[in-house]
Amino acid sequence: MDQDRPPVETGCVLWSDGMDLLQDAAERKHFLPTGLEGIDTLLGGGLRKGQLTELTGQSSSGKTQACLYSAAHVAARHMGAVLYLDTSNSFSPSRIARILDELPISFVKEPKDVRLKRVMSSIICESVFDIFALFEVLNQLEVSLNNKVNIGGNKICLLIIDSISSLLAPIIGGKYSQGRSMMISVAMILKKLADKHNLSVLVTNHMVAGNGAPKPALGESWKAVPHIRLMISRDRGSNICTATILKHTLLASGRHMKFAVPG
């Protein structure tokens, strides 16, 4: 497969007969589309439900924009509610509004202000600045999911943590003697929530210096945690980004696809 072809032409399934249509529809029930065509095509439909997907990359590579776009798209398309855990005050309703203006949802007959209010009612943003606050929010989420609590009339289907490394890096090798075990506890909780409640979990991770090239932070212990790891890079002076598979349960590493994010 030519990985440099446009997203619309790459990764398509065969539509030769009705059976292909049925199989494709059934497969897409297992995905939560991000609305970013390149990422969705690369992953065969979007974020896989029941799994943890990590976006890693250098600062300003487009990781946060991808998270915001995913949250806006899921809420706008009535797919469910989103819990967005913000570790760096990067979440902004005005950025969500700009994203909504770019989404191809013209068939939704509602004024912009009404649409924004509806979407924002389905995105719950929590500021989380340390590991202990993260544990508290995740425990509250588990209770809510067990009790089938809805947000804006919708079940939470997407959990975003931007960024997980901001919370975990300070406790590894620092003053917390149990830092690594705390990190593994976070990983177990996230994967349990994803599996038990069929959530898509999306986290971001920064890059650190490596031998010859930057590598994802948090070390080998965390490397085994994500089901899927994508590296995001941005073309200089552009809103065009590239997503590259570093790890996937089904797809080969190295595959890549370009996508555009709002400026």
Residue pair 205/34 in contact by the 8 Å Cβ criterion: no
pLDDT at 112: 84
Structural domains in the chain, sorted by start: 32-260 (3.40.50.300)
pLDDT tens digits, 167-200: 999 998 766 678 889 999 999 999 999 999 999 9
pLDDT tens digits, 135-147: 999 999 999 999 9
Residue pair 99/69 in contact by the 8 Å Cβ criterion: yes
pLDDT tens digits, 61-116: 999 999 999 999 999 988 999 999 999 999 989 999 999 988 775 545 778 888 89
Residue pair 45/97 in contact by the 8 Å Cβ criterion: no
Residue pair 120/96 in contact by the 8 Å Cβ criterion: yes
Count the alpha carbons within 13 Å of 150 in the hemisphere toward its beta carbon. 7
pLDDT tens digits, 195-220: 999 999 999 999 998 788 899 999 99
